[in-house]
């Protein structure tokens, strides 16, 4: 493999309901990024249907790879390695991407790099903010995951806390479904909340001062459900905007408290948030306000890179490749893969 080729990594992402391919140079420069969303496919069901997701990946993946190569102005023979999400995620969806990546690796005789989806979200920040780097505290928050971690060096992670039940994105989706707002719930609730009063209803802040960095949202979800059910049973009117704002405030207040405390305890000057819920405007605003008081900088990706995407996979793949951490063709997909797992 020549030096020029080794700079280019093809990323493949199929962990859930976005089919994505990307070519990235030296882990920092995005030459192309193609994302095929399945939101319309799953919206009628109020959430992702795994079997439908894997079938859609089968149809969309190779066209996405071909388009990403065209956008980058390169051919398959110019690619130095292929990086692919191996987990966590929906097993059927993961297998589509992993099988394609193995085939490309074998046919082109280039390294295969299996990537942890959660870790890749952190590397999405580095793509757009070259000034950012470890040591830092990272908060990865998405539809299926909520993890707070300390990153002392590249590819090293200390998990400080995670969700004990519902992930933030999952809770947003469930509350949105309860209120008949549509799917995905996060952007809808964020938009409605801007028109509401976050103090209209005082919902519980679970584990706010428990001394850990863990999160729990099942109790909050139940509290919202009980409030809505009782209001409807007694014909008591409420503003959906106020309910959305109150729910969101309860989620974000705990997140901000724990992220800020972790950053101070670890003595870092940088915090990154990543994942789908990192696109939430209220979280960004409130966390920045809190961190500014302590002189700590906050960084997050653009909205497009908050979504599941192959550029972040290729970026992390490059750093793993640089350290010689490649995979063989026996690499398996796994639905559960904590940050820092081998």
Q: What is the 3-state secondary structure (H, E, C) of the chain?
A: CCHHHHCEEEEEECCCCEEEEEEEECCCEEEEEEEEECHHHHHCCCCCCHHHHHHHHHHHHHHHHHHHHHHHCCCHHHCCEEEEEEECCCHHHHHHHHHHHHHHHHHHCCCEEEEEHHHHHHHHHHHHCCCCCCCEEEEEECCCCEEEEEECCCCCCEEEEEECCCCHHHHHHHHHHHCCCCCCHHHHHHHHHCCCCCCCCCCCCCCCCCCCCCECCHHHHHHHHHHHHHHHHCCCCCCHHHHHHHHHHHHHHHHHHHHHHHHHHHCCCEEEEECHHHHCHHHHHHHHHHHHCCCCEEECCCHHHHCCCHHHHHHHHHHHHHCCCCECCCCCCCCCCCCCCC
**175 part of a folded domain:** yes
Q: Kindly give, in sequence order, each residue whose CB lies less than 8 Å from that of residue 164, ignoring residues fewer than 6 positions away.
A: 207, 214, 215, 216
* Structure confidence by residue, pLDDT tens digits, 87-98: 999 999 999 999
- My answer on whether 138 and 274 are in the same domain is yes
The pLDDT, as a whole number, for residue 144 is 87
d(CA 239, CA 121): 35
- My answer on whether 113 and 137 are in the same domain is no
* Structure confidence by residue, pLDDT tens digits, 37-54: 887 888 877 788 888 989
| Structural domain span for residue 286 | 133-303
- My answer on whether 46 and 184 are in the same domain is no
Calculate the alpha carbon distances from 45 to 49, 192, 273, 322 in Å.
8, 22, 29, 42
**105 part of a folded domain:** yes
Total length of the chain: 342
- My answer on whether 163 and 74 are in the same domain is no
- My answer on whether 116 and 258 are in the same domain is no
**269 part of a folded domain:** yes
Between CA 341 and CA 295, with CA 129 as vertex, the angle to 5 degrees is 95
In which residue are the tokens 């901000």 written?
256
User: How many domains are there within the chain?
Assistant: 2
- My answer on whether 215 and 289 are in the same domain is yes
Tokens representing residue 292 in the block: 């500014």
- My answer on whether 85 and 216 are in the same domain is no
**245 part of a folded domain:** yes
- My answer on whether 222 and 313 are in the same domain is no
**332 part of a folded domain:** no
- My answer on whether 182 and 284 are in the same domain is yes
- My answer on whether 229 and 175 are in the same domain is yes
In which residue are the tokens 């995905």 written?
184
**239 part of a folded domain:** yes
**182 part of a folded domain:** yes
- My answer on whether 111 and 165 are in the same domain is no
What's the maximum distance between 2 C-alpha atoms anywhere in the chain?
72
d(CA 13, CA 18): 7
The pLDDT, as a whole number, for residue 45 is 78
Q: What is the pTM of this model?
A: 0.94
d(CA 262, CA 72): 39
CATH number of the structural domain spanning residue 59:
3.30.420.40
- My answer on whether 8 and 104 are in the same domain is yes
Residues in the chain with pLDDT < 50?
Answer: 1-2
**333 part of a folded domain:** no
């Amino acid at each position: 493999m020549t030096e020029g080729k080794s700079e280019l990594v093809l990323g493949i992402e199929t962990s859930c309901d976005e089919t994505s391919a990307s070519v990235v140079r030296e882990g920092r420069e995005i030459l192309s990024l193609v994302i095929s969303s399945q939101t319309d496919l799953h919206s009628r069901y109020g959430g992702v249907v795994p079997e439908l997701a894997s079938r859609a990946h089968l149809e969309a993946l190779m066209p996405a790879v071909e388009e990403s190569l065209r956008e980058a102005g390169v051919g398959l023979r110019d690619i130095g390695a292929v990086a692919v999400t191996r987990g966590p995620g929906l097993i059927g969806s993961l297998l589509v991407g992993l099988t394609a990546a193995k085939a490309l690796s074998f046919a082109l005789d280039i390294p295969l790099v299996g990537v942890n989806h959660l870790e890749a979200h952190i590397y999405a920040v580095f793509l757009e903010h070259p000034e950012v780097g470890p040591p830092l505290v990272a908060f990865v928050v998405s539809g299926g995951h909520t993890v707070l971690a300390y990153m002392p060096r590249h590819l090293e992670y200390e998990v400080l806390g995670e969700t004990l039940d519902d992930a933030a994105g999952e809770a947003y989706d469930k509350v949105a479904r309860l209120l008949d707002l549509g799917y995905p719930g996060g952007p809808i609730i964020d938009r409605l909340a801007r028109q509401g009063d976050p103090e209209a209803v005082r919902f519980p802040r679970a584990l706010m001062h428990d001394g850990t960095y863990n999160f729990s949202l099942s109790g909050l979800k139940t509290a919202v459900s009980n409030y809505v059910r009782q209001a409807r049973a007694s014909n008591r009117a409420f503003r959906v905007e106020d309910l959305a704002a109150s729910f969101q405030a309860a989620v974000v207040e705990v997140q901000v408290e724990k992220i800020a405390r972790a950053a101070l305890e670890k003595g870092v000057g940088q915090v990154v948030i990543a994942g789908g819920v990192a696109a939430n405007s209220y979280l960004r605003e409130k966390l920045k306000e809190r961190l500014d008081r302590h002189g700590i900088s906050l960084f997050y990706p653009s909205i497009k890179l908050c979504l599941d995407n192959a550029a972040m996979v290729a970026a992390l793949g490059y750093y793993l490749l640089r350290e010689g951490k490649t995979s063989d063709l026996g690499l398996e997909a796994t639905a559960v893969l904590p940050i820092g797992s081998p």
